[in-house]
Amino acid sequence: MPAVVQLPVGKALTVRAAADAFLDSLGNPNTVRNYGIGVGKTVERIGEGRSLASVADDEIGEVLELLWGEAAVNTWNARRASVLSWLGWCGERGYDGPSVPAWAKRMTPPDSETPARSKMAIDRLIARREVHLREKTLWRMLYETCARAEEILGVNIEDLDLAGRRCPVKAKGARPRTRRRGQVREDFVLEPVYWDAGTARLLPRLLKGRTRGPVFVTHRRPGPGKVVSLRDVCPDTGFARLSYGQARALLDEHTAVGGTPGTGWDLHEWRHSSLTHLGEAGASLLMLMAKSRHKKPENVRKYFHPSPGAIAEVTSLLAPGDSRR
């Protein structure tokens, strides 16, 4: 039998008190240990002394993205599930508090098929009149570069080579390295990504003469008390960099099935779709690796679809020398 936990009465329930009460109610030590990681780190990031009722749904989503947005799919799903259970447990006991937002949805496991959207579906979505220029540019850029969403969202205007249609991005897995005395050195690997005419037409319209700061920004300034790095703020407008969570929510909003939150496209589908289309068009395995910047052939082999004509042509190279004259 799980322990009976007495929650505070007659006062606002703090984030830390809610987390401790939830973890104390779990009977299995392994569950406590596994859930404690997701719930504990989330509580630390939100603020332990805050009232649970004062936390917004999107704050939960943003914290999840910040902590595990770049983690493995199974890690993301496990941490999200622990926070979902915690907040659901509080709600069942009548305490006001946030929920995990629909856009911070469970991700598709790696052994499942991520849908590849057709070129027609992509063009129709980007051409819709109600879609803002910012989203049109971001989605077209993600599709044409085959880059990861967090890489493109991290680009600044001064990084762009508009004439060459390219820019450097921080490669996946790069992390700041800690030096002696607690100093942190930014030590990232930069790799170039390239775009085509669609992005080239949209980018100048989006920038509107801006020459510094994030390419993709929000439509309002950061709220009071929110600490934002100078690199993540446009010096001309004061608007903050668009986050991964916000970009994911916007895509879900425009593609949700029947308007139901959490049923729309995922940001990873842009990269998956573009690589699928390149593979279907006959791009070689080495070219797919160069475009996607994957280091291992097995990670892009599923996109490699040589045509019968290409196979026949390479087979002809094995014929006797005089038969090819």
Q: Compute the distance between CA of residue 295 and CA of residue 301 in angstroms, rounded to an integer.
A: 12
Domain 119-263 has CATH 3.10.620: no
What is the structure's pLDDT at 7?
A: 52
Within the chain, which residues score under 50 in pLDDT?
1-5, 9-11, 174-187
Query: What pLDDT is recorded for position 159?
Result: 94
Q: What pLDDT does 303 receive?
A: 86
The domain locations on the chain are 15-92, 119-263, 282-318
Query: What per-residue confidence (pLDDT) applies to 10?
Result: 42
Per the CB < 8 A criterion, the answer to whether 249 and 261 are in contact is no
CB 213 within 8 A of CB 224: no
Q: Which amino acid is at 113?
A: E
Q: Give pLDDT tens digits for 286-300.
A: 999 999 998 888 888
pLDDT at 180: 42
pTM for the model stands at 0.66
Please tell me if the domain spanning 15-92 has the same topology as the one spanning 119-263: no
**Strand-pair category, 190-194 with 166-170:** antiparallel
Fold of 15-92: DNA polymerase; domain 1 (1.10.150)
What is the predicted pLDDT for the residue at 121?
95
pLDDT tens for each residue of 84-112: 999 999 999 988 999 999 888 888 765 55
pLDDT of residue 135: 98
Strands 184-185 and 166-170: unpaired
Of residues 222, 220, 255, 235, the one with CA closest to residue 139: 255
pLDDT of residue 109: 67
